[in-house]
Amino acid sequence: MKKRKRFERHFEAFMTLAEQWKLSEKERRQLLNIKSERTFLSFATGKEAPPAEVLTRMHYCMQIYRALHILLPSYTSANDWIHAANKAPLFQRTGYKTALEAMLSDNIRDLKTVHDYLLAQLHA
């Protein structure tokens, strides 16, 4: 029961940041690597427990959100950063034009790379 409540809180937080990032329903599912709308709704309503990867992806997203709101001077710039073209070496190397493009990759390592990049900026 505790796990379900914790997931519900995390899912609610994820949905809030997805709203602030202006993500479409498809992008929300893609960010969590959930292929079908039915599965997404099943997780959202607590009918089905999500796999560990979904929880990990949520965690990375929440940490990315947190880091952006510490690093950037305004609420708007923090929420817009994932959509903006980015010329940082990380993005040049990977071929992604925006952080969101990398985050939406099926490969969780790309989401983790954005996460790690921002954490490094926090500690620089």
- Sign of the dihedral through C-alpha 5, 60, 71, 25: negative
Q: Evaluate whether 34 touches 43 at the Cβ level (below 8 Å).
A: yes
What is the per-residue pLDDT across 5-54, written as a single tens digit (0 to 9) for each? Answer: 777 888 899 999 999 999 999 999 999 999 999 999 888 888 888 889 99
For residue range 103-120, list pLDDT tens digits in order.
999 999 999 999 999 999
Phi-psi sector, 78: left (phi>0), alpha (psi -120 to 50), beta: alpha
Rounded distance between C-alpha atoms, residue 122 and residue 43, angstroms: 32
